[in-house]
């Protein structure tokens, strides 16, 4: 597999990166978007390299997960975070759109737990980081099929309010999906295309 920093014209293509904690459904989302089989259901936190897909005028990058907060040690989580941050910083301006996938069925519990410990939840920290390096950030609220109907709106509003509070300068762009039930995928494609077109980039060849 070639890294995006390798030489040749491929290296100049803008990137759409898909990032998020391990096991939130990044590979499943990429598969729904492109029909391409990327490895799904790997062991949580297992290390892997980024996975690149050629989408014509741009390249889609399925990033390695940055640690599974439930199962990995703090040291391992930090190391995986550092690796992800280093790759993203290297690509820098080539990143046209950053997609942050979160598991919306776990987001509130995880956030409450981290905040009770006085720590910044990793999903929120990453949203801030991506917002710093990239003009267009789309938050994918995945695994929405796991939400109870009664808690559905509350869970989405909670995500919206936490992300808005983290980055008051921008309105969070959230797409609710279930890669299991294939819902929200068309809206996500449209949102990505809009984010690309505002920067003068052509539509991806899904």
Tell me which H or E stretch contains 17.
strand 15-19
Residue 140 burial class via C-beta count within 10 angstroms: exposed 0-12, middle 13-18, buried 19 and up: buried
59 is an interface residue for ligand GDP by CB under 6 A:
no
Using an 8 Å Cβ cutoff, are 28 and 99 in contact? no
Q: Which span sits near ligand GDP by CB under 6 A: 84-92, 153-161, 177-185, 198-206?
A: 177-185
162 is an interface residue for ligand GDP by CB under 6 A:
no
84 is an interface residue for ligand GDP by CB under 6 A:
no
Among 146, 161, 165, 202, binds ligand GDP (CB under 6 A): 146
143 is an interface residue for ligand GDP by CB under 6 A:
yes
CB of 48 to ligand GDP, least distance (A): 9
Looking at beta carbons only, is 145 or 193 nearer to ligand GDP? 145
> Helix (H, G, I), strand (E, B), or coil: what is residue 50?
coil
**Cβ neighbours of 188 (radius 10 Å):** 21
In this structure, the strands spanning 59-62 and 51-54 are: antiparallel
Q: Which span sits near ligand GDP by CB under 6 A: 4-12, 38-46, 49-57, 163-171?
A: 38-46
Among 14, 15, 17, 22, binds ligand GDP (CB under 6 A): 22
Phi, psi at residue 86, to the nearest 5°?
-60, -45
> Helix (H, G, I), strand (E, B), or coil: what is residue 96?
strand
Interaction site with ligand GDP (CB under 6 A): 20, 22-28, 40-42, 65, 142-143, 145-146, 178-180
């Amino acid at each position: 597999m070639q890294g995006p920093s390798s030489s040749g014209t491929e290296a100049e293509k803008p990137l759409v990166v898909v990032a998020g904690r391990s096991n939130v459904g990044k590979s499943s989302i990429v598969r729904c978007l492109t029909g391409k089989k990327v490895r799904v259901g790997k062991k949580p936190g297992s290390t892997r390299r980024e996975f690149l897909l050629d989408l014509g005028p741009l390249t889609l990058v399925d990033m390695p997960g940055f640690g599974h907060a439930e199962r990995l040690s703090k040291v391992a989580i930090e190391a995986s975070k550092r690796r992800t941050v280093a790759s993203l910083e290297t690509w820098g301006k080539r990143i046209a759109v950053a997609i942050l996938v979160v598991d919306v069925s776990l987001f509130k519990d995880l956030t409450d737990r981290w905040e009770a410990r006085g720590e910044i939840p990793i999903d929120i920290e990453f949203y801030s980081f991506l917002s710093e390096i990239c003009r267009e950030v789309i938050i994918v609220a995945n695994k929405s099929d796991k939400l109870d109907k009664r808690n559905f709106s509350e869970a989405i509003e909670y995500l919206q309010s936490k992300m808005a509070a983290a980055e008051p300068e921008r309105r969070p762009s959230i797409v609710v999906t279930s890669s299991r039930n294939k819902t929200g995928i068309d809206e996500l494609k449209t949102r990505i295309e809009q984010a690309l077109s505002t920067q003068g980039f052509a539509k991806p060849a899904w």
